[in-house]
Amino acid sequence: MLKRLCLLLAATLVCYNSAAHHAAAGIYDRNDIGEIEGEIVSVFWRNPHVRLEIARDVGQGPDQIWEVEFGSVNTVERLGVARDSVRIGDRVSVSGSLGRNGRPVMFAGAITLSTGEELLLQAAAPVRYGLNEATLAASRNAAEELRADIFRIWIPNSRPETGSGTTVYPLTEAGRLAQASWDAADDPALQCIPPGLPTAMDNPYPIEFVDEGNRILMRLEEWDGVRTIFLRPDNVGEPIQPRMGVSIGTLEGRTLSIRTTDIDWRYVDDLGTPQSEDVVIDETFTLSEDGTTLAWEARITDPVNFTEPVVMTGDWVWLAGQEIKPFNCALPDAGTGG
């Protein structure tokens, strides 16, 4: 029981932080962990979050319908949870962060099937991607011939976690007013609107660099994002996704340096921190000597909203055999789940 409780608390903490990308802080209480049991009456198996409706027998009157959500399809599939793992009519118990003010909602960290099998619905990157000493050692050996090459798929190891709501920004008066006016209900993610820079870089999914000669494409699994990085200033064209901005880069040795302007995205994070059209982002991606780690630093300069530049850091690791999965966001009422 103690082991199960520890697993639940750890999984719930991870899932709550991930859920903050979609305005979860005002819906769920990370400190109120509970468990419910009932019958699954609907399944929405699409991104950005999987959702279940569970009918809970309350003893008197009709069953109480709970809305239970958890990680993305991409996350749970990497944890071994498939679409047919949960079916309408199954009796299950789910545990996780309960809704605030007594609302019958939950952000789940684990689900127990009628067979007694318990499925983890959220986990940190090492668990999701099988990242351990043995797999890292194998990657170091395989990277011998790839040490100077960034053109691979990279999995996240650390990131700014701006969605947790703990980041303190040096806001100007205009920035404070804009942030104060943010309504969580306006979160673009709730309408399946993909974010631009720098929001897109703070994500828990793989990225890939693709060499196209005069330009580099950076593919991001989350939201099916694509960044266009032009390597010749005299040959800059329209980026594939304007919300990512116009990026001009140089690749020298182990370091890719990028300056991005003209970003068609007005937020720094998923929580409404504002970004003006004057923002400039300077980034470096630096490959480690052994070719297995890619360190990232971004310097965000926005004189309209920040009194000084904001610096974000993170890193990715290379693990052989990884892939970029499609994200395919859809809204629950779009009729694509079930």
CATH number for position 167: 2.40.128.20
* CA dist., res. 153 & res. 228, Å (int): 16
pLDDT at 15 over 80: no
| Per-residue pLDDT at 315 exceeds 90 | yes
Q: In the structure, what pLDDT confidence band is assigned to residue 265 with cuts at 50, 70 and 90? A: very high
Query: What confidence score (pLDDT) does residue 333 get?
Result: 63
Q: Into how many domains does the chain fold? A: 2
C-beta atoms surrounding 151 within 10 Å: 13
Q: Is 112 found in the same domain as 148? A: no
Whether the pLDDT of residue 56 is over 70: the answer is: yes
Query: In this predicted structure, what is the pLDDT of residue 23?
Result: 52
| Mean model confidence pLDDT for the chain | 89
Q: How sure is the predictor about 255, in pLDDT bands with cuts at 50, 70 and 90?
A: very high
CATH number at residue 90: 2.40.50.140
Q: Do 27 and 91 fall within a single domain?
A: yes
Q: Is the pLDDT of residue 181 over 60?
A: yes
- 311 and 231 in a single domain? The answer is yes
Q: What domain range includes position 55?
A: 2-123
Q: Which of 45-49, 126-130, 313-317, 329-333 has the least mean pLDDT?
A: 329-333
Judgement on whether residues 74 and 166 belong to the same structural domain of the protein: no
Q: Is residue 338 part of a domain?
A: no
- One domain, residues 187 and 274: yes
* pLDDT computed for residue 338 by the predictor: 53
- Give the per-residue pLDDT at 165: 86
> Among 123, 156, 171, where does a domain finish?
123
* Tens digits of residue pLDDT in 286-300: 999 989 999 999 999
Q: Is 166 in the same domain as 216? A: yes
Residue 129 has pLDDT above 80, yes or no: yes
Share of the chain above pLDDT 70, in %: 91
- My answer on whether 138 and 81 are in the same domain is no
The residue-averaged pLDDT of 255-277 equals 97
Q: Are residues 284 and 220 in the same domain?
A: yes
> pLDDT at position 180, please?
94
